[in-house]
């Protein structure tokens, strides 16, 4: 084969390779800047306590509500018992006040009866004195009889006034008792709230899984003291998804729902199927700790990357796929 023929063959091979490369990249966009992601839920204690049990093994799947950690409940059981005792005492005072109000109502009823009786007696003595006064004018009775009737009338008036005063005093006592009710009711409500809080704190000694997921990164052991707000372990939750960074020049033809091939490096390049779920609202650089400042005289244009969220299709074995794994993804835009 002459030199010219060799060059011709090489040229044909290059043209075929270039044509294949051009054909391969038509209707598809790919990137190797992609990773498996998942929602990782930090599990923290809401109270201070000492760990007494860790029933959830590391790297095992747990269901929502499963017990992850158990704290010593003794202190919080005592607090609950104390709060319940205070609540019972407050409720007893309120019940006793109601009993006193009922008794006071009975005394008011009796005082009203006394007023009615005294009023009737006073009216009788008034009538008696008036009748004797008329008879005195006709000289049918003596002055002594009239004086005695007037004395009886005055005594009846005094008894009536005393009965009315006692009724007013009993009614005032009822008003005083009724005035105590709002304060006692508030104390009962406060005590009930304290019981509720103590019950919550006791419940918090059992730390449960807020969502289904795989237990990982456990940082506590039995006997260790924990504080509120400190991460004790994490839950890697489902579903997992793909975080793929595409150049801004690649996303023009991409739309939600387009098919995606996902090559998992850790599985020897095994191909999984997926689809575009959504596009992030900004490029990755905008989420950096120090976003770029391009308003300078030394500006250099750099192609930015836009994160794209890709979901795995259903009915695939994803048991070996873990968050953080590197991927290569290909989006079929046509």
Rounded CA gap, 257 and 280, in Å? Answer: 15
Is residue 59 assigned to a domain? no
Domain match, 254 and 152 both: no
Last residue of a domain, one of 199, 226, 253: 199
Same domain, yes or no: 107 and 179: yes
Range of the domain at 314: 28-40+235-332
Residues 6 or more apart whose CB falls under 8 angstroms from that of 159 comprise 118, 121, 122
pLDDT tens column, 175-191: 888 888 889 899 999 99
- Angstrom CA distances, 116 to 113, 150, 296, stand at 5, 21, 100
Q: Does residue 100 lie within any of the structural domains?
A: yes
The answer to whether residue 54 is domain-embedded is no
Structure tokens at 26: 């038509």
**What pLDDT does 87 receive?**
95
* 250 and 162 in a common domain: no
What local confidence, expressed as pLDDT, does residue 13 receive?
72
Extract the residue ranges of the chain whose pLDDT is less than 50: none
Please tell me the predicted confidence (pLDDT) of residue 280. Answer: 86
Whether 214 is covered by a domain: the verdict is: no
> Are 239 and 195 part of one and the same domain?
no
How high is the pLDDT of residue 151?
Answer: 85
> What's CA 102's distance to the chain center, in Å?
42
Give the pLDDT of residue 9.
63
The residue among 199, 216, 248 that closes a domain is 199
For the chain, how many structural domains are there in total?
Answer: 2
| Rounded-to-integer distance, Cα 220 and Cα 45, Å | 11
What is residue 99's predicted lDDT score, i.e. its pLDDT?
87
Task: List the CATH number of the domain containing 82.
Answer: 1.10.287.1490
Boundary of a domain, candidates 154, 182, 199: 199
pLDDT for 2:
67
Give the CATH number, domain containing residue 318.
2.40.30.170
In a shared domain, residues 185 and 248? no
Residues 172 and 265 in one domain: no
227-233 long-range contacts (CB < 8 A, ≥24 apart) are 227/45, 227/48, 228/44, 228/45, 228/46, 228/47, 228/48, 229/44, 229/45, 230/44, 230/45, 231/42, 231/43, 231/44, 232/43, 232/44, 232/45, 232/68, 232/69, 232/207, 233/43, 233/56, 233/68, 233/69
**Which of 14-20's residues contact partners 24+ apart within 8 Å by CB, and which partners?**
none
Predicted pLDDT of residue 141 = 66
In this structure, are residues 305 and 232 in contact, taking their beta carbons and an 8 Å threshold? no
Q: What is the pLDDT of residue 284?
A: 65
For residues 169 and 98, membership in a common domain is answered with: yes
Is 195 in the same domain as 87? yes
50 in a structural domain: no
Tell me, yes or no, whether 58 lies in a domain: no
Q: Does residue 1 belong to any structural domain of this protein?
A: no
Percent residues over pLDDT 70 in the chain: 85
Considering the domain architecture, whether residues 111 and 180 belong to the same structural domain is answered as yes
The verdict on 85 and 35 lying in the same domain is no
Length of the chain, in residues: 334
9 within a domain of the structure (yes/no) = no
Query: Are 180 and 99 part of one and the same domain?
Result: yes
The Cα 164–Cα 115 span in angstroms is 6
Q: Is there a single domain that holds both residue 159 and residue 274? A: no
Task: Output the pLDDT for position 106.
Answer: 87
In whole angstroms, what is the distance from residue 109 CA to residue 91 CA? 27
Q: 243-263: per-residue pLDDT in tens? A: 999 988 888 888 999 999 999
């Amino acid at each position: 084969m002459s030199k010219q023929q060799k060059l011709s063959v090489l040229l044909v091979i290059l043209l075929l390779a270039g044509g294949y490369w051009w054909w391969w990249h038509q209707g598809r966009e790919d990137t190797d800047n992609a990773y498996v992601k998942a929602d990782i839920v930090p599990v923290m204690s809401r109270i201070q306590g000492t760990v007494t049990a860790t029933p959830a093994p590391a790297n095992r799947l747990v269901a929502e509500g499963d017990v992850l950690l158990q704290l010593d409940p003794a202190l919080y059981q005592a607090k609950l018992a104390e709060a319940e005792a205070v609540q019972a005492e407050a409720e007893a005072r309120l019940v006793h006040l109601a009993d006193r109000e009922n008794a006071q109502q009975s005394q008011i009823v009796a005082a009203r009866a006394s007023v009615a009786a005294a009023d009737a007696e006073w009216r009788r003595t008034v009538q008696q004195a008036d009748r004797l006064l008329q008879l005195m004018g006709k000289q049918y009775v003596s002055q002594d009889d009239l004086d005695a009737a007037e004395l009886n009338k005055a005594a009846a008036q005094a008894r009536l006034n005393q009965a009315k005063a006692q009724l007013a005093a009993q009614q005032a006592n009822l008003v005083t008792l009724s005035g105590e009710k709002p304060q006692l009711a508030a104390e009962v409500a406060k005590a009930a709230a304290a019981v509720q809080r103590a019950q919550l704190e006791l419940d918090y000694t059992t730390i449960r899984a807020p969502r289904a997921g795989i237990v990982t990164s456990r940082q506590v052991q039995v006997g260790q003291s924990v504080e509120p707000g400190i991460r004790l372990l994490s839950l890697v939750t489902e579903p997992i998804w793909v975080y793929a960074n595409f150049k801004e020049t690649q996303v023009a033809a991409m739309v939600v729902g387009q098919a995606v091939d996902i090559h998992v490096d850790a599985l020897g390049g095994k191909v999984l199927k997926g689809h575009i779920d959504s596009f992030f609202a900004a490029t990755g650089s905008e989420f950096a700790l120090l976003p770029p400042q391009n308003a300078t005289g030394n500006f250099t244009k750099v192609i930015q990357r836009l994160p794209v969220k890709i979901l795995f299709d259903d009915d695939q074995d994803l048991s070996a796929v873990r968050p953080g794994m590197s991927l290569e993804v290909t989006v079929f835009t046509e």
